[in-house]
């Protein structure tokens, strides 16, 4: 790995404190950082290198640390004081980075700042010559939201592209850790027995659920302008859908992988404005009880406007119009203040075609399911039917769990793996612009319809599994939501 200089815009903010610096520290402890990597914090506070190091020391010390390793890590840190609204600060930054031999000319610019400032900062970097790759590479890292809808995503991208080309931009999606993506890929493509079944002939439907028991946690200001569809479905859940539905890529390099994901997104049947109600459902949590404690409704959370119709729950039914998946419904669902926090992909198979057991006590044969639980634990479970013990011909569901189910692993933090990939220049886990753009195209008609229908929104009690009415998206009566691994199927 080449030496580089890791510049953090927003070095005094929450993301830098709770994610970026702890991840860099742990990578250093694990011996994964290049020896000449330096971290330059950019901030408008008048901090010295020494003061910034003391700050970072206190941030890191909130968890158990090895003091010798921390002292060594802190030597990598420097602080540059500047205001990002002032062009002059960027001239100063350029002179600072290029004037001293201690900084590698390979530069990473991490935008730990408000998305409203992404375009301004990339513009100034371009203007002072810091996006230009002469003498070293330059990489720009941004976090979602990548726009607010298709139009704003296009304009943000056009703005970034004035100074940075696609190969220099890393769009982070920290929701899917590297391990999870690799698990899905290995499960799908390293098991030959699955491939013949993984299509419309055998699969009845697919559900992708991300549930959270938390509410807006002091971020209501941001959340109320976003809502569940933008915050989770447009980004994270559509990413998961592409991994479950895509064709095997030619190899695991970034472009092959992302090409296949884009093909899935492009094949999603557009939701016509007049069909939004048949394909999408939204709701907002009302007061209820979560984990035995009473929880206020969304409208009573601090910072939420009294007349808000922002959805805290969204469900979407999508069809992928390709050879493999035509007419198989994919149900995507997410919500805040639900009973439990969990992420799971549930794949339901069809019923066997022959009613062999018609004359027996097996009155209704249950279908097979494959459940891929992603958070908080990785687990893969197969539900099959076996004969119950005894003289009678009865069936029961048995579960085959992959051996690591339920084991709490000390998982690699998503940021550690992602930061290492940025340093290494590996784009595979980062979103290419066409992925972002096609994902916006999927949800845009729903966003438009919901933003114009502002008189009414369904509610659900906090701590429940969401509104009953969301079942209306299901295309058949024998389909219903699976919530957690433990819960029995119908």
Question: What are the catalytic residues?
Answer: 236
Q: How far is the CB of 234 from ligand NAP (least distance, A)?
A: 14
Phi-psi region of 301 (alpha: psi -120 to 50; beta: other; left: phi over 0): beta
Of 395-414, which residues contact ligand NAP (CB under 6 A)? none
What's the maximum distance between 2 C-alpha atoms anywhere in the chain?
85
Q: How far is the CB of 147 from ligand NAP (least distance, A)?
A: 12
Spatial CA neighbour of 410 closest among 214, 176, 174, 179: 179
Please tell me whether residue 466 binds ligand NAP under the rule CB under 6 A.
no
Burial of 137 (0-12, 13-18, 19+ CB in 10 A): middle
Q: Residues 33, 93, 107, 112: which binds ligand NAP (CB under 6 A)?
A: 112
Sign of the dihedral defined by the CA atoms of residues 423, 426, 430, 435, in that order: positive
Spatial CA neighbour of 442 closest among 243, 247, 233: 233
Q: How far is the CB of 157 from ligand NAP (least distance, A)?
A: 16
Cα–Cα distances in angstroms (integers) from residue 411 to residues 7, 177, 178, 179, 378, in the given order = 26, 9, 10, 8, 10
**Which residue stretch of 42-50, 241-249, 387-395, 411-419 sits at the interface with ligand NAP (rule: CB under 6 A)?**
42-50
**Which residue stretch of 112-120, 194-202, 257-265, 433-441 sits at the interface with ligand NAP (rule: CB under 6 A)?**
112-120
Count CA within 13 A, CB hemisphere, residue 337.
28
**Which residue stretch of 69-77, 83-91, 150-158, 291-299 sits at the interface with ligand NAP (rule: CB under 6 A)?**
83-91
Interhelix angle 178-189/414-424, nearest 10 degrees? 90
Q: How far is the CB of 44 from ligand NAP (least distance, A)?
A: 4
**Which residue stretch of 81-89, 101-109, 413-421, 468-476 sits at the interface with ligand NAP (rule: CB under 6 A)?**
81-89
Binding mask 7-26 for ligand NAP (x = CB under 6 A): ---x-xxxx--x--------
Q: How far is the CB of 219 from ligand NAP (least distance, A)?
A: 9
**Alpha-carbon distance 70 to 61, whole Å?**
9
45 CB contacts (<8 Å, ≥6 apart)? 12, 81
**Alpha-carbon distance 224 to 216, whole Å?**
9
Q: Residues 1, 61, 85, 100: which binds ligand NAP (CB under 6 A)?
A: 85
Q: Residues 50, 62, 66, 83: which binds ligand NAP (CB under 6 A)?
A: 83
The count of chain residues that interact with ligand NAP, using the rule CB under 6 A, is 17
Q: Which residues bind ligand NAP (CB under 6 A)?
A: 10, 12-15, 18, 43-45, 83-85, 112-115, 143
């Amino acid at each position: 790995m080449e030496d580089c200089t890791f510049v953090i815009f927003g070095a005094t903010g929450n993301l830098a404190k709770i994610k970026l610096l702890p991840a860099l520290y742990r990578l250093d402890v694990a011996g994964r950082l290049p020896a000449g990597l330096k971290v330059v914090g950019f901030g408008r506070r008048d901090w010295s290198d020494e003061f910034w190091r003391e700050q970072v020391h206190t941030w890191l010390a909130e968890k158990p640390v090895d003091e010798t390793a921390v002292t060594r890590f802190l030597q990598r840190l420097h602080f540059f004081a500047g205001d990002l609204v002032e062009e002059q600060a960027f001239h100063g930054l350029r002179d600072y980075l290029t004037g001293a031999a201690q900084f590698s000319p390979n530069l990473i610019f991490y935008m730990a700042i408000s998305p409203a400032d992404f375009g301004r900062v990339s513009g100034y970097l371009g203007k002072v010559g810091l996006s230009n790759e002469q003498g070293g590479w330059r990489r720009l890292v941004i976090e979602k939201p990548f726009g607010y809808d298709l139009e704003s995503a296009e304009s943000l991208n056009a703005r970034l592209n004035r100074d940075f080309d696609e190969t220099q931009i890393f769009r982070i999606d920290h929701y899917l850790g590297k391990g999870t993506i690799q698990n899905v890929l290995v499960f799908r493509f390293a098991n030959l027995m699955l491939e013949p079944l993984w299509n419309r002939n055998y699969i009845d439907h697919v559900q992708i659920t991300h549930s959270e028991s938390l509410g807006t946690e002091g971020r209501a200001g941001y959340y109320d302008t976003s809502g569940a569809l933008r915050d989770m479905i447009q980004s994270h859940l559509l990413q998961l859908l592409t991994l479950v539905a895509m064709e095997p890529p030619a190899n695991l390099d970034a472009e092959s992988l992302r090409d296949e994901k884009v093909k899935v997104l492009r094949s999603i049947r557009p939701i016509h404005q007049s069909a939004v109600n048949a394909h999408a459902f939204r709701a907002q949590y009302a007061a209820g009880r979560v984990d035995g404690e009473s929880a206020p409704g969304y409208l009573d959370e601090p910072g939420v406007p009294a007349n808000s119709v922002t959805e805290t729950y969204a469900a979407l039914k999508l069809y992928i119009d390709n050879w493999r998946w035509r007419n198989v419904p994919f149900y995507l669902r997410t919500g805040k203040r639900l009973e439990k926090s969990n992420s799971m992909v549930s794949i339901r198979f069809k019923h066997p075609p022959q009613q062999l057991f018609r004359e027996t006590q097996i009155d209704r044969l249950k279908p097979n399911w494959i459940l891929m639980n992603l958070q908080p634990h990785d687990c893969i479970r197969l539900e099959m039917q076996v004969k119950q013990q005894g003289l009678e011909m009865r069936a029961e569901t048995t579960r085959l769990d992959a051996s690591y189910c339920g084991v709490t692993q000390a998982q690699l933090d998503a940021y550690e793996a992602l930061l290492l990939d940025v340093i290494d220049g590996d784009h595979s886990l980062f979103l290419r612009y066409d992925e972002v753009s096609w994902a916006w195209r999927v949800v845009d008609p729903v966003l438009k319809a919901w933003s114009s229908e502002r008189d009414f929104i369904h509610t659900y009690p906090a701590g429940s599994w969401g509104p009953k009415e969301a079942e209306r998206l299901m295309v058949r009566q024998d389909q219903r939501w699976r919530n957690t691994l433990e819960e029995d199927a119908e």
